């Protein structure tokens, strides 16, 4: 397939765990305020569905990133590619969407920074894994 499936799975799990920390103890309150999310809305959601679909989407993102990075990349090259994708592609497109949706800049900052951190982490893991 041109990439290490174990590295992709590890990268997906790492990004998923990072998301739990990011939207939990690190920036959870800031994100909730900026997004209009409330504790009641969180409790009213289908957690199994939300987390299941989120993990599958993270796995797909890691697979595509691994294909993009290719075989033989170093950790630095993988992290650099992940950073570029997270910041320059995802972060900027979120910025476009958020402008038209009149969302607060704080909402964009939290989400774009997570995308950047998650893709950088996934790229690093995929790049260093033999």
| pLDDT score of 3 | 83
Distance separating alpha carbons of residues 18 and 54, to the nearest angstrom: 13
Phi, psi of 114 (to 5 degrees): -65, -45
Q: Cα dihedral sign for 59, 57, 108, 98?
A: positive
Instruction: Kindly state the DSSP code that residue 38 receives in the 8-state scheme.
Output: -
pLDDT tens-place string over residues 28-52: 999 999 999 999 998 899 999 999 9
pLDDT at 75: 96
- Examine the pLDDT at 123 and tell me if it is beyond 90: yes
Category of 89 on φ-ψ map: left (φ > 0), alpha (ψ -120 to 50) or beta: alpha
Residue 1: pLDDT band by 50, 70, 90 thresholds? low
Round to whole Å and give the CA distance between 17 and 61: 15
Q: Which of 57, 17, 58, 32 is nearest to 110 (CA)?
A: 32
Closest CA to 122 of 1, 23, 3, 16: 16
pLDDT tens column, 48-71: 999 999 999 999 999 999 999 998
Q: What pLDDT digit, counting tens, does each position of 89-121 carry?
A: 999 999 999 999 999 999 999 999 999 999 999
Rounded to whole angstroms, the Cα distance separating 105 from 122 reads: 25
């Amino acid at each position: 397939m041109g990439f290490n499936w174990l590295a992709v799975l590890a990268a997906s799990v790492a990004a998923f765990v990072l998301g739990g920390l990011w939207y939990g103890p690190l920036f959870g309150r800031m994100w909730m305020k900026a997004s209009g999310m409330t504790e009641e809305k969180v409790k009213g959601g289908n957690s199994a569905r939300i987390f299941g679909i989120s993990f599958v989407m993270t796995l797909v993102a890691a697979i595509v990133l691994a294909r993009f990075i290719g075989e033989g990349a170093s950790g630095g090259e993988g992290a650099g590619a992940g950073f570029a994708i997270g910041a320059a592609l995802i972060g900027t497109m979120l910025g476009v969407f958020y402008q038209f949706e009149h969302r607060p800049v704080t909402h964009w900052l939290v989400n774009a920074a997570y995308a950047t951190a998650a893709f950088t982490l996934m790229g690093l893991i995929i790049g260093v894994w033999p």
